[in-house]
Amino acid sequence: MEPSHRKLATPDRELASLSMRVAMYYNNRDVRLEKMPVPKIGSGELLVRIRASGICGSDLMEWYRIKKAPLVLGHEITGEVVEVGDGVQGFRLGDRVFSSHHVPCGQCRYCQAGHQSVCELLRTTHFDPGGFSEFVRMPKINVELGTLHLPDQVTFDQGSFIEPLACVVRAQRLARLIAGQTVLVIGSGISGLLHIQLAHARGARRIIATDISKFRLNAASQFGAAATIHGTEDVPARLRELNDGRLADLVIVCTGAMPAIQQAVKSIDRGGILLFFAPTAAGVDVPIPLFDFWRDEVSLVTSYAGSGQDLSESLELILTHQVRVADMITHRLPLAQTGLGFQLTASGQDSIKIIIDPLI
């Protein structure tokens, strides 16, 4: 008779009786290496050994994270299947996989209307415990609706970009980016750089990027920006100089800093679209010149997360090298140095993407 769970044999330990190392988040400056039991899986679930977990800018939103601390963060993950629960179809021991932490139901009124990212289920699904750990339990719903096989040509590190790139894919679709447009990207952190690359792949006529970090401005040029503007300059005026006297058809805001948001509001051309990709802190109001936007037919768009279609498209963009994610990795750190990874990401001075690999 087949055992209730199929496990990947390990030479020196039985997973069910083990503890594992995790990076426990208390605040942005306090991330501790701790131990907790390896999660036990149930029917329809997978246990995945983490091989790559990217640090996301949202992991550093302390105003949001601190309310739930201590907790194990990390949602940009890839790994290998080490245990398979009863009834799981399509996944076997040893499979290389990506899994999304948030998944929509596909059936509610929001999903049916194309707004999967505001599905109630999506906002309640998550890993156990989180990607900054040695092992993660994938709940049944995540296995069925949010887990993909990694092609052999895609490394674990590259696969960890599937989720963040999917968010960008969704945002640019909602913002109706088309070939021939001028795109201004406000903020050239990891999200901004992914937006630059995808806009370039989508045929944008001219991409201009801003930031207050020279390191990030250089990265923006490396990844496809035709020109850059330091954030302390008069951004709308410089934009006109660089764009034949015109403002931008699409402005993508990748920072919650109010000065940058104010620059974005003044940089959108008539008939253009202003995409708010990054949030402010909760409760912060952003003044909008409604009369000017009404007169000039400026549209405001927001975007949150990504869904199944976006994840599949993201994987294809990575597989075909239309978005060069491997070149964005500046640091690979062991689990014990996750706190250092948070510090490097927060500084933004000499890092782009930091990958945590529990096996090093």
Q: How confident is the model at residue 1, as a pLDDT?
A: 33
Assigned fold of 176-302? Rossmann fold (3.40.50)
For residue range 7-66, list pLDDT tens digits in order. Answer: 554 433 466 568 999 999 999 899 999 999 999 999 999 999 999 999 998 888 877 788
Place 4 in a pLDDT band, splitting at 50, 70 and 90: very low
CA dist., res. 133 & res. 67, Å (int):
21
Phi and psi dihedrals of 15, rounded to 5?
A: -55, -40
Does the pLDDT value for residue 138 go beyond 80?
yes
pLDDT reported for residue 8? 52
CA-CA distance, 201 to 311, in Å (whole number)? 17
pLDDT at 83 over 70: yes
* pLDDT of 134 above 90: yes
Dist CA 127 CA 22 (whole Å): 13
Concatenated DSSP letters of 194-205: HHHHHHHHTT-S
The pair of three-digit structure tokens given for residue 360, joined into one six-digit string:
């090093």
Torsion-angle region of 75 (φ positive above 0: left; ψ -120 to 50: alpha; else: beta): alpha
Query: At a CB cut-off of 8 Å and minimum separation 6, what does 125 contact?
Result: 101, 102, 103, 139, 141, 142, 146
Split at pLDDT 50, 70, 90, the class of 133 is: very high
User: What would the pLDDT profile of 217-255 be if each residue is shown by its tens digit?
Assistant: 999 999 999 999 999 999 999 999 999 999 999 999 999
Using the predicted structure, report yes or no on whether residue 139 has a pLDDT greater than 90.
Answer: yes
Mean pLDDT for the stretch of residues 149-168: 97
Backbone angles phi, psi at 137, to 5 degrees: -90, 125
Domain boundaries, the chain: 6-166+306-356, 176-302
Q: What pLDDT was estimated at residue 165?
A: 98
Residue with tokens 């008779």: 1
Dihedral angle at the C-alpha atoms of 130, 25, 211, 322, nearest 10 degrees? -20
- Of how many residues is the chain composed? 360
Closest of 314, 273, 275 to residue 296, by C-alpha: 273
pLDDT band at 201 (very low <50, low <70, confident <90, very high): very high
H or E, element range at 164: helix 162-174
The full DSSP string for 25-51 is EEETTEEEEEEEEPPPP-TT-EEEEEE
Q: Which amino acid is at 330?
A: T
The mean of the pLDDT values for the chain is 93
Q: Which of 113, 63, 255, 268 has the alpha carbon at shortest distance from 184?
A: 268
CATH number of 6-166+306-356: 3.90.180.10
